[in-house]
Amino acid sequence: MPSPVPPLTPTIEIPRTYRVKSFGCQMNVYDGERMAELLAEQGIAAAPEGEEADLVVLNTCHIRERAAEKVFSDIGRLKRQDGSTPLIAVAGCVAQAEGDEIMKRSPAVKMVVGPQAYHRLPEMIRVAAEGKRITDTDMPAETKFDALPPRGQGGRRSGPTAFLTVQEGCDKFCTYCVVPYTRGAEVSRPHADLIDEAKRLVDAGAREITLLGQNVNAWYGKDAKGRKVGLAGLIRELAEIPDLARIRYTTSHPNDMTEALIVAHGEVAKLMPFLHLPVQAGNDRVLKAMNRSHTAESYLKILDRVRAVRPDIALSGDFIVGFPGETDAEFEDTLRLVDAVGYAQCFSFKYSPRAGTPAATMDDQVAPAVMDERLQRLQAAVNRDQYAFNKATVGRTCEVLVERKGKLPGQWLGKSPWLQSVHFVGEAAVGDVVTVELTEAGANSLSARLLSTVPA
Ligand code: 5AD
Ligand code: SF4
């Protein structure tokens, strides 16, 4: 019997199953979902829970410490017992910034794809299936969004909460940050596309949409009548979608906090009373060295204006401790700002030098032990405020969007308007907006008593 003719390049087969692992920010979560939809459209199925996938996409984050090292250890962990590996694609911001290095150091990686190029994954998979390795970190002028399958295609359902990227990239060039280099310049997606995507998400089951962007409040576009609109206009229009119950947005920059957006917080009932507005530090010399183009005072004034129109607004921020040259006294200004604001929640980080950013080569890098101590003090302050915020809401009646079942029988988990995690026991279903009374506060969540179910 003649031996079968070997296929031309039998190196790798087209994968049948995929898994996308997203790290870092919510925009990566959104990108991960869009990649999953794209792969599903190609006939590649999501690998069942607990089973190995033929194709693994590591959707990476480059914002803070040891990002590349983490990717290499994740790649190492994908090795199977027989020594083989799935088809590995590294996507996201580490791919963009360190793709060449990854290709050099990690032969198991067959594809490196940047955040603006992932719509080309299907072509890349075909190339990889021929046994070639391929990198695509272009930042093409045309948008990837045009090339992606529409949301909800093929009857895909959405969870009760969904992300919608409206804006990407950053022109602000804070001196510590890699985003302007990895995600590119600020680009706003067209108004009509966003309204369409939001409606599709709602049709697919979403009750809450969080509008995403690195500088989401820098979004602008033209409405159906050709009028220029900003984020506030977009929010007002989205609020008209009948089955959409809640709108949120993140992340904002203080300089793009327009009067129109502030006013919307007082007027649009579906816009939730929560504002994530990073300040990074409370000292003006440090803010200047960070190239933040706002001062502690101008930041606090914005918060005053928002509170004037929406007194119950929950505030959230990002902080970096130990920026190069930050003295003890300058750090104390950050603690003072935290005290002045009374945040509902915060994210705080130790400064970590990112290659290629101006701060990485600044003099007076702060010693790790000093950063540790500052981070601990800052986190103690923000934890205290978060608990105080939660306690202050006890006794209030509010709506909760039910997101999933809890661990206890009959228990449900969801979010309050102020983005607090709330659990209660009673008759409800995922996607319901129910009315509860908040009864007990913990540092990270609250218990509630179910009062009524608002029909969805
Ligand atoms: N070091 C530490 N934190 C950083 N962030 C961004 N770049 C760095 C860095 N080099 C933080 C900022 C930003 C958040 C998303 O990550 O606080 O708002
Ligand atoms: Fe980074 Fe600053 Fe742009 Fe935010 S505003 S993405 S911190 S450069």
* Ligand lying closest to the C-alpha of residue 366: 1
Specify the DSSP class assigned to residue 168. E
Closest residue by CA, ligand 2 atom 2: 174
pLDDT at 183: 87
What mean pLDDT comes out for the span 308-315? Answer: 98
- Identify which of 172, 177, 286, 351 to mutate to test ligand 1's pocket (most ligand atoms within 8 A of the CB): 177
Convert the pLDDT of each residue in 120-163 to its tens digit. 999 999 999 888 999 999 887 667 888 888 888 888 889 999 99
Q: Is 5 inside any structural domain? A: no
Is 229 within the bounds of a domain? yes
User: Residue 347 CA: which ligand 1 atom is closest?
Assistant: 17
Question: Do 80 and 98 share a structural domain?
Answer: yes
Q: Is the pLDDT of residue 250 over 70?
A: yes
Point out the ligand 2 atom lying closest to the alpha carbon of residue 183: 6
Helices of type H across 268-350: 284-289, 296-309, 328-341
Domain boundary residue, one of 370, 393, 416: 393
Q: Is residue 89 part of a domain?
A: yes
Ligand 2 near 172 CB (within 6 A): yes
**What average pLDDT score do residues 52-68 get?**
88
Mean pLDDT of 107-122: 94
CA–CA distance, 86 with 108 (Å, rounded to integer): 8
Judged against a pLDDT cut of 90, whether residue 40 lies above it is answered with yes
pLDDT score, position 9? 43
Q: What residues contact residue 51 under an 8 Å CB cut-off, 6+ apart?
A: 17
Pocket test for ligand 1, best of 215, 320, 346 (most atoms within 8 A of CB): 320
Do 223 and 306 fall into the same domain? no
Q: How confident is the model at residue 113 (pLDDT cuts 50, 70, 90)?
A: very high
Instruction: Say if ligand 1 is within 6 A of residue 177 CB.
Output: yes
Identify the CATH number of the domain in which residue 108 sits: 3.40.50.12160
| Phi, psi angles (nearest 5°) of residue 410 | 75, 5
Taking the centre of ligand 2 as the mean of its atom positions, its distance from the CA of residue 179, in whole angstroms, is 6
Q: Is the CB of 323 under 6 A from ligand 1?
A: no
- Is 177 annotated in a binding site? The answer is yes
Same domain, 53 and 121: yes
| CATH code of 436's domain | 2.40.50.140
Which residue, judged by its Cα, is nearest atom 4 of ligand 2? 214
- For residue 320, the ligand closest to its alpha carbon is 1
Cα(63) to ligand 2 centroid in Å equals: 10
Task: Report the separation in Å between the CA atom of 404 and the middle of ligand 1, taken as the mean of its atom positions.
Answer: 31
Ligand nearest to the CA of 167: 2
| 280 Cβ below 6 A of ligand 1 | yes
Residue 311 above 50 pLDDT?
yes
| Residue (of 126, 135, 92) closest to 15 by Cα position | 126
Average pLDDT for 366-391: 97
Cβ(64) to ligand 1 under 6 A? yes
Q: Are residues 296 and 382 in the same domain?
A: yes
| Closest atom, ligand 1, to C-alpha of 354 | 10
153 contact partners, CB below 8 Å, separation of at least 6: 37, 41
Give the model's confidence band at 11: pLDDT under 50 very low, under 70 low, under 90 confident, else very high. low
* Chosen domain end from 136, 163, 197: 136
370 in the same domain as 333: yes
- Do residue 259 and residue 304 come from a single domain? no
Number of neighbouring beta carbons within 10 Å of residue 62: 25
Q: How does residue 14 score in pLDDT terms, banded at 50, 70 and 90?
A: confident
Does residue 436 lie within any of the structural domains?
A: yes
Q: DSSP states of 173-188 as a string? A: --TT--HHHHT-S-EE
Interhelix angle 67-77/92-105, nearest 10 degrees: 70
Is residue 260 domain-shared with residue 206, that is, in the same domain? yes
The residue-averaged pLDDT of 153-182 equals 92
What pLDDT is stored for residue 13 in this prediction? 81
Domain that holds residue 435: 397-454
Q: Residue 188 pairs with which residues in a beta bridge?
A: 167
The mean pLDDT value for 386-393 works out to 97
**Do the annotations mark residue 346 as ligand-binding?**
no
Inside any domain, residue 433: yes
| Boundary-marking domain end, from 243, 272, 301 | 272
Q: How far is the CA of 131 from the centre of ligand 2 (A)?
A: 38
- Burial code (b: 16+ CB inside 10 Å, e: under 16) for 72-101 equals bebbeebeeeeeebbbbbbbbbbbbbbbee
CB distance 320 to ligand 1 below 6 Å: yes
- Whether 193 and 187 have beta carbons less than 8 Å apart is answered as no
240 and 349 part of one domain: no
Q: How far does residue 146's CA lie from ligand 1's centre (Å)?
A: 30
Is 162 in the same domain as 244? yes
**CB of residue 179 inside a 6 A radius of ligand 2:** yes
Here the CATH number for the domain that contains residue 196 is 3.30.750.210
pLDDT digits (tens, 9 = 90+) for 338-357: 999 999 999 999 999 998 99
Asked whether residue 10 carries a pLDDT value surpassing 80, the answer given is no
Residues 198 and 182 in one domain: yes
For ligand 2, atom 5, the nearest C-alpha belongs to 172
Whether residue 231 is found in the same domain as residue 323: no
Ligand 2 atom nearest to 173, measured from its CA: 8
Task: Supply the mean pLDDT for the chain.
Answer: 93
Question: How many angstroms separate the Cα of 58 from the Cα of each of 108, 165, 324, 344?
Answer: 13, 20, 31, 32
How many domains does one find in the chain? 4
Domain membership of residue 8 (yes or no) is no
Mutate to test the pocket of ligand 2, among 181, 253, 257, 352 (most ligand atoms within 8 A of CB): 253
| pLDDT for residue 152 | 85
365 lines ligand 1 (CB under 6 A): no
Find out whether the beta carbon of 318 lies less than 6 Å from any atom of ligand 1: yes
Question: Does the CA dihedral 384-264-225-209 come out positive or negative?
Answer: positive
Residue nearest (by alpha carbon) to ligand 1 atom 16: 63
| Residue 425 clears pLDDT 50, i.e. is over it | yes
Amino acid at 106: S
CA 284 – CA 38 distance, rounded (Å)? 45
CA of 174 to the centre of ligand 2 (A): 5
Report how far ligand 1's centroid is from the alpha carbon of 335 (Å).
Answer: 18
Mean pLDDT value of segment 32-41: 94
Q: Is the CB of 351 under 6 A from ligand 1?
A: yes
236 domain residue, yes or no: yes
pLDDT higher than 60, residue 177: yes
- What distance in angstroms lies between residue 66's CA and the mean position of ligand 1's atoms? 13
CATH code where residue 332 lies: 3.30.750.200
Task: Mark whether 252 and 173 lie in a shared domain.
Answer: yes
Task: Confirm whether 353 is domain-assigned.
Answer: yes
Q: pLDDT at residue 1 above 70?
A: no
Identify the CA nearest to 270 among candidates 245, 249, 250, 238: 245
Query: Per 3-state DSSP, what percentage of the chain is helix, strand, and coil (rounded to 5)?
Result: 35, 25, 40
- DSSP character at residue 152: T
